[in-house]
Amino acid sequence: MATASEIAAVGVIGAGQMGSGIAQLAAAGGCAVLLLDADPTALSRAVISISASLRRLAAKGQLSQAACEDSIKRIRCVSAVQDLRDADLVIEAVVENEAVKKKLFVELDKVTKPSAILASNTSSISITRLASATKRPSQVIGMHFFNPPPVMKLIEIIRGADTSDEVFAAVRSFSERLGKSVICSQDYPGFIVNRILMPMINEAFWALYTGVATKEDIDAGMKLGTNHPMGPLQLADFIGLDVCLSVLRVLHSGLGDSKYSPCPLLVQYVDAGRLGKKRGVGVYSYGHRPSSVRP
């Protein structure tokens, strides 16, 4: 099993916002990065956005020009799980769906070297259950990054029931090597951050749904009254309303308490395809806005 200093090659699966950000961090941290996505358009978009992000950091003097260009060169785009055979650590950031992730872990277990650590960036799915899809549950762990990964200072590490102390120590040191602070959560629904964040977002939806206030006032209240960088409804749009709903459903079913039951307005927005900023419309409109379902 690789120690933190031996983690030289990192596989990142999923070239969306989270996967791109994680790939950027690993490349800037000196690792060879294999960025995997079945969609070539997603891969080219990711490389453009990572390059732009690293060059912005170089322009601001936070990274030398040479380090910036070297980091970009360290990222190789690949399209098959087999291409990750040499990775010391694989971090998956694919869609938040347990069946999809489990299938991926089964494949990863077959193709990666026996010493490789397999990590999931899941927001709330049980690491223990993902680990059970493999023959190396002691080498499976949660590495929960926050959006946008290059900016947010935290990685929440989740220990599955069988995650070994060695794997935990390696992943903690590796996260620190990326410049992040680390917190450790046991494997219970929502872990630490989403267990607390999502009920707040849900409550903001209830406040909007029951007419307590306008969306602007709910957000301004939490931004100006509690110094949050974004109001909860704006943050929900930023995270993705589908992701918020999926985490709330995991909390509701996993903890069995009606206080986690998703607000009907959140459910309706997701049903209507109003998934937030990524779709141009959520609680707020970012350009295109469908005519149905208005708050």
Rule CB under 6 A: choose which of 71, 134, 138, 194 binds ligand 3HC: 194
* Residue given tokens 């950027």 in the structure block: 24
- DSSP one-letter code for 34: E
Q: Is 287 in the site for ligand 3HC (CB under 6 A)?
A: no
202 is catalytic: no
Q: Is 243 in the site for ligand 3HC (CB under 6 A)?
A: yes
Q: What mask, x for binding ligand 3HC by CB under 6 A, covers residues 204 to 233? A: -------------------------xx---
Q: Is 151 in the site for ligand 3HC (CB under 6 A)?
A: yes
Rule CB under 6 A: choose which of 30, 148, 199, 273 binds ligand 3HC: 148
CA distance 211 to 205: 10
Burial readout 145-157 (b: 16 or more C-beta within 10 A, e: otherwise): bbbebbeeeebbb
Which listed residue (156, 185, 246, 252) is catalytic?
156
Q: Is 52 in the site for ligand 3HC (CB under 6 A)?
A: no
Coil, helix or strand for 77?
strand
CA distance 148 to 61: 20
Q: Where are the alpha helices (DSSP H) in the chain?
A: 17-28, 40-59, 65-73, 98-111, 127-131, 165-177, 193-209, 215-226, 232-239, 241-255, 264-271
194 is catalytic: yes
44 is catalytic: no
Least Å distance, CB 147 to ligand 3HC, is 4
Which listed residue (96, 144, 175, 252) is catalytic?
144
Question: Could you tell me which of 140, 110, 260, 160 has the C-alpha nearest to residue 200?
Answer: 260
Active site residues: 123, 144, 156, 194
- Binding residues for ligand 3HC (CB under 6 A): 53, 56, 60, 123, 146-148, 150-152, 194, 229-230, 235, 239, 243
